[in-house]
A and B are shown apart, each in its own frame.
Chain A
Amino acid sequence: MTRAVTRTGRGSRGSTVSLALPWPVWVPAVVAFGLIAVPVAGLIVRTDWPNFAALVTTDAALDALWLSLKTGLTSTALCLVLGGPLALVLARSNIPGLPFLRSVVLLPLVLPPVVGGLTLLFLLGRTGPLGQLLNAWFGITVPFSTEAVVIAQTFVAMPFLVVSLEGALRTAGERYEVVAATLGASPLTALRRVTIPVVLPGLISGSVLAFARALGEFGATIAFAGNLQGTTQTLPLLIYIQSQNDLDGAVAMSLVLVVVAVLVIVATRTRDVSGVR
């Protein structure tokens, strides 16, 4: 009785008293955390700090970093422009076959990226059905170009944006749009002035996740775009190549990607990931 009073007495502003976790939970939890944190910490220890600046500013490294940022931002923009409307269709329309469409959109999440890259190559390659037409009509060859990098990244990153935006749209519901309509807002005005602002947190966190996924893309890129310095060699590709002969350089550039990833997580965490305030 007395204990209960002292415990809840502190939480007069509504802090909850958490129940004790059973002990078997703790050991695997610590192992799981260690599995993620220890290798990253090891990377920091292993880094050749005196030569760090030189290692990350080689021509190849700077080219790869610049290409990664450029293609990552471009594919994020593509995800927004194409995936945003797709999320709206999935969340708001009542066309037949929505569950099927939704599972197709999720495919790049579960498919090995290399397989994704190969499917793109089969479609858009010089002998592929679409690639043949593009080559014959416009003289365009897609594979092994910077455009191919962007397409591969958009392919793998799209589901991240669509899923988080669709979730935000469903949570917000249609009630605000109904109110907007009774106030005289056309569907386009309601979309612009009500729907988008209401789901903005979900839109931002979805974009950040898509950017992070695009930045780390490896398998689909190497299968579809190849590994040409300055054109298709993004940072993950360069790190993989370097790790075969120059481990110090690979470690230093890996650290750059870790820093970018941490920045992304901080950016998403400060805006609520769930998409609702």
Chain B
Amino acid sequence: MKPLSSYLRRPPEAASDGSGLAARVTTRRGGFTLDVDLRVEPGEVVAVLGPNGSGKSTLLGTLAGLYAPEDARVTLGGRVLLDSADGTAVPAHRRRVGMLSQQALLFPHLSVRDNVAFGPRCAGRPRREAAAGARRRLDDVGVGELEDRRPAELSGGQAQRVAIARALATEPELLLLDEPFAALDIDAAPAVRSVLRRLVRDTGQTTLLVTHDVVDAVVLADRLVVLAEGRIVEQGPTAEVLARPRSAFAARIAGLDLVTGVAADGGLRTPDGGTVFGAASEPVDDGEPAVAVFAPTSVAVHREHPEGSPRNVLPVRLAALEPQGQVVRLRAAAVPQGPPWADGLAADITPAAVAELGVEPGDDLWFAVKATEVSVHPRSR
């Protein structure tokens, strides 16, 4: 794994070395200031995580060419797309930047196949070649049999699959994903996410994902950039940032317990050979890199080894007590005889329960999580 420092802000002369995306955007809108310096290496998937109003949409709009901030410089693969210093602004349709948003926005008057063929046709491909390519793309996303349908006849998940095929059919140099699963049914989202993950991975598609859902970032992204109030407050490899958030903000939006390992029968195998029991939320092969995710509120805390049903029980040492509104977050550290990955796990319990347990930092405790509370997701590397 690369050292964290290699992801930190680079000097400006390195920002246009000719590969990947380099974007420096400073803009003021009302009382809000966005000040971001961002790089995406070729083939890399970077997730920008932040709450609403943190400047994510402005950033995407700037990259796509829909918005020109007063002070910005964007280069992609050596081409200058935007430079406020000399007034360069390549129009959206010549940027080779694709975009997939919450809504599929398929053209209602075109068949599914013609929607996917639209981009290649604009690029001058002959009609038959574009149609054949569209069929292949539709097969790739698993809706090949729907090629003659109209968009109005599709479900939300099907429409979003077609939108994925359409965005990738132009072979964009950079793909922007704007909360691409936020509008989908909770049942449809994992399968569509899995399709997108496979395609983005297989083709080495340079991608920038914007989301407020940690799971999207875990499943798709190599690297995580945390945006708060228009600034990058933290960045680094996804699992690292989420497991050990260095800023209070990242900890709050991460808000989940994560354990990395590989997928195994019944859950996840950790590097030390232990098992976290849980259910796969989307298709993941045994042995594939994966991450087990559970909410701190689903963690029960005990003084003694608990009897009964919880499948996941682990010894920890209490590192810190953090008040978080209605609950108190117990932050764990590993104990020598227990699993090393317990380090940094959080449990949220009520102040009354804290008083009843009478715990303080340094105490040895047991964390227990039911297998039904643990979801296992594939992860990027």
**Number of A-B contacts defined by CB within 8 Å:** 64
Closest to B61 in A: A178
Q: Which of A181, A184, A189, A277 contacts B108, CB < 8 Å?
A: A277
Q: How far is the CA of A197 from the CA of B108 in the complex (A)?
A: 9
Assuming A181-B65, A184-B119, A189-B122, is B109 touching A200 (CB within 8 A)?
A: yes
Closest chain B residue, CB of each to CB of A186: B93
B97 at interface (Cβ–Cβ under 8 A)?
yes
CA of A193 to CA of B167, assembled, Å: 17
A182 and B97 contact, CB distance less than 8 A: yes
With known contacts A183-B118, A184-B170, A197–B109 Cβ distance under 8 A? yes
A200: which B residues are within 8 A, CB to CB? 109
Contact between chains at B170 and A183 (CB < 8 Å): yes
Which of the residues A180, A187, A277 comes within 8 Å of B118, measured between beta carbons? A180
Residues of A within 8 A of B152 (CB): 277
Which residues of A lie under 8 Å from residue B99 when comparing CB positions?
A: 178-179, 182
Bits for A168-184, please: 1 = Cβ < 8 Å to B, else 0: 00000001101111111
A228 in the interface (beta carbon within 8 A): no
| A186 surroundings in chain B (CB, below 8 A) | 93, 122
Find residues 91-145 in chain B having any chain A CB closer than 8 Å to their own CB. 91-94, 96-99, 103, 105, 107-110, 118-119, 122-123
| Contact between chains at B105 and A181 (CB < 8 Å) | no
Q: Is A255 an interface residue (CB 8 A)?
A: no
Q: Count residues of chain A with CB under 8 A from any CB of chain B.
A: 20
Chain B residues, Cβ within 8 Å of A181: 65-66, 91-93
A237–B122 CA distance with the chains assembled, in angstroms: 51
Cβ of B109 and Cβ of A184 under 8 Å apart? no
CB of A174 to closest CB in B, whole Å: 9
- Cβ-based interface call for B64 (8 A): yes
- CB of A183 within 8 A of CB of B105, answer no
Which of B103, B109, B166 touches A183 (beta carbons < 8 Å)? B166
Q: How far is the CB of B366 from chain A (nearest CB, A)?
A: 52
Q: Cβ of B94: which chain A residues have Cβ within 8 Å of it?
A: 184
Contact call A193/B118, Cβ cutoff below 8 A: yes
Interchain CB contact under 8 A, B122 and A184: yes
Which residue of the partner chain, among A184, A187, A194, contacts B123 with CB atoms under 8 Å? A184
The interface size bin for chain B is: 20 to 34
Kindly provide the distance from the CB of B89 to the nearest chain A CB, expressed in whole angstroms: 13
Chain A residues touching B, majority SS: helix
| Interfacial residues of chain A within 181-226, with CB under 8 A of chain B in the complex | 181-187, 189-190, 193-194, 197-198, 200
Which residues of chain B are near A189, meaning CB under 8 Å?
122
B103–A175 touching, CB < 8 Å: yes
Which residue of chain A has its CB nearest to the CB of B103? Answer: A175
How far, in whole Å, are A179 and B166 apart by their CA atoms in the complex? 10
Bound CA span A5–B110, Å: 43
Min CB distance B154 to A, Å, is: 15
CB-CB under 8 A from A182, the residues of chain B are 64, 92-93, 97-99, 167, 176
- B-chain residues with CB within 8 Å of residue A184 when the two chains form the complex: 93-94, 96, 119, 122-123, 170
Let me know if B118 and A185 touch, CB within 8 A.
Answer: yes
Against A, the Cβ 8 Å flags (1 = close, 0 = not) of B178-222 are 000000000000000000000000000000000000000000000
CB contact between B98 and one of A183, A187, A198 (< 8 Å): that residue: A183
User: Are B108's CB and A198's CB within 8 A?
Assistant: yes
A185 to B93, Cβ gap below 8 A? yes
User: In the complex, what distance in Å separates the CA atom of A38 from the CA atom of B202?
Assistant: 72
Beyond A175-B103, A178-B66, whether A185 also contacts B122 by CB under 8 A is yes
Closest chain B residue, CB of each to CB of A277: B108
Cβ-defined contact, B122 with A175, below 8 A? no
Query: What is the distance, in angstroms, from A59's C-beta to the closest C-beta of chain B?
Result: 46
Report the minimum CB–CB distance from A275 to chain B (whole Å).
Answer: 13
Q: Which chain B positions have C-beta within 8 A of A277?
A: 108, 152
Residues of A within 8 A of B97 (CB): 182
Q: How near does chain B come to A116, taking the closest CB pair, in angstroms?
A: 37
Closest beta carbon of chain B to A192's beta carbon, Å: 11
Residue of chain B at shortest CB distance from A197: B109
Q: Is B122 a contact partner of A183 (Cβ separation < 8 A)?
A: yes
What 10 A-B pairs are tightest by C-beta distance, nearest first? A181-B92, A183-B119, A197-B109, A182-B99, A184-B122, A181-B93, A185-B122, A179-B105, A184-B93, A186-B93
- Return 18 A-B CB contacts under 8 Å, by A number: A176-B107, A178-B92, A179-B107, A180-B107, A181-B66, A181-B92, A182-B176, A183-B93, A183-B98, A183-B118, A185-B93, A185-B122, A186-B93, A187-B91, A189-B122, A193-B118, A194-B107, A198-B109
